[in-house]
Amino acid sequence: MLKKRLEGRNIILASGSPRRHQFLEELDVPYEIRLKSIEEVYPTHLKAGEISDYLAELKAKPFNGTLEPKDILITSDTVVWHNGASLAKAADETEAFEMLQTLSGDWHEVITSVCFTTAQGSVTVHATTKVKFKKLTDDEINFYIENYSPYDKAGAYGIQEWLGHIGIEELQGSYTNVMGLPTHLVYETLTNMVS
């Protein structure tokens, strides 16, 4: 349905995330991947969704002046927000363990922002999902860190992996948002842009 509306438009996804690639394919949105590296630094006064909005927009900046009239560039960023602080990607095993221990037995927010940029301008949207972990044991945390890939994910976990299956008690909001792309918002925003 959306694919037909997007005829004549060129969707560019500026993300190396296999999960985001998979979601666009499942939405039946044809796209190409273009990657440009940026330093993901944001002003320290920003909070929660302000951080992910800022970084999603920052990721679009290297494309300034390169977009054709038919292009729609999609950039995004995910933030895990807990107790007034952003939990970024863990640098090592110790950091990953500390992050997961902090999230254990408590609620946190996962916010994913998506910036849609054309040659004419841009629009940024974001979704927030509340997630509650059960009380995780040290053995469970260590097993996850040793057997999965916590280092490329905000908050040091993937909801679609083992820890998500055994550890998440409650979820309020979009599941795909926690995986890194609020697909309902992507569908809605693209539909509005081409209708």
Report DSSP state, residue 120: S
Q: Which of 97, 79, 77 is nearest to 88 (CA)?
A: 79
Q: Which domains does the chain have, with CATH numbers?
A: 2-194 (3.90.950.10)
Which residues are catalytically annotated?
Answer: 77
Grade residue 152 by pLDDT with cuts at 50, 70 and 90. confident
Mean pLDDT of 35-58: 96
Q: Which residues contact 174 (CB under 8 A, 6 or more apart)?
A: 127, 129, 182, 183, 184
Q: For the segment 62-107, what is each residue's pLDDT rounded down to a tens digit? A: 999 999 999 999 999 999 999 999 998 999 999 999 999 999 999 9
Q: For the segment 132-148, what is each residue's pLDDT rounded down to a tens digit? A: 999 999 999 999 999 99
pTM of the model: 0.94
The predicted pLDDT at position 1 comes to: 84
Answer whether 113's CB lies under 8 Å from 75's CB: no
Dist CA 91 CA 93 (whole Å): 7
Grade residue 195 by pLDDT with cuts at 50, 70 and 90. confident
Give the CA distances from residue 106 to residues 1, 12, 118, 168, 175, in Å, rounded to whole numbers and listed in that order. Answer: 40, 37, 40, 10, 18
The predicted pLDDT at position 124 comes to: 98
The predicted pLDDT at position 149 comes to: 84
Which structure tokens are listed for 191?
A: 């539909």
Neighbours of 181 (CB within 10 A): 27
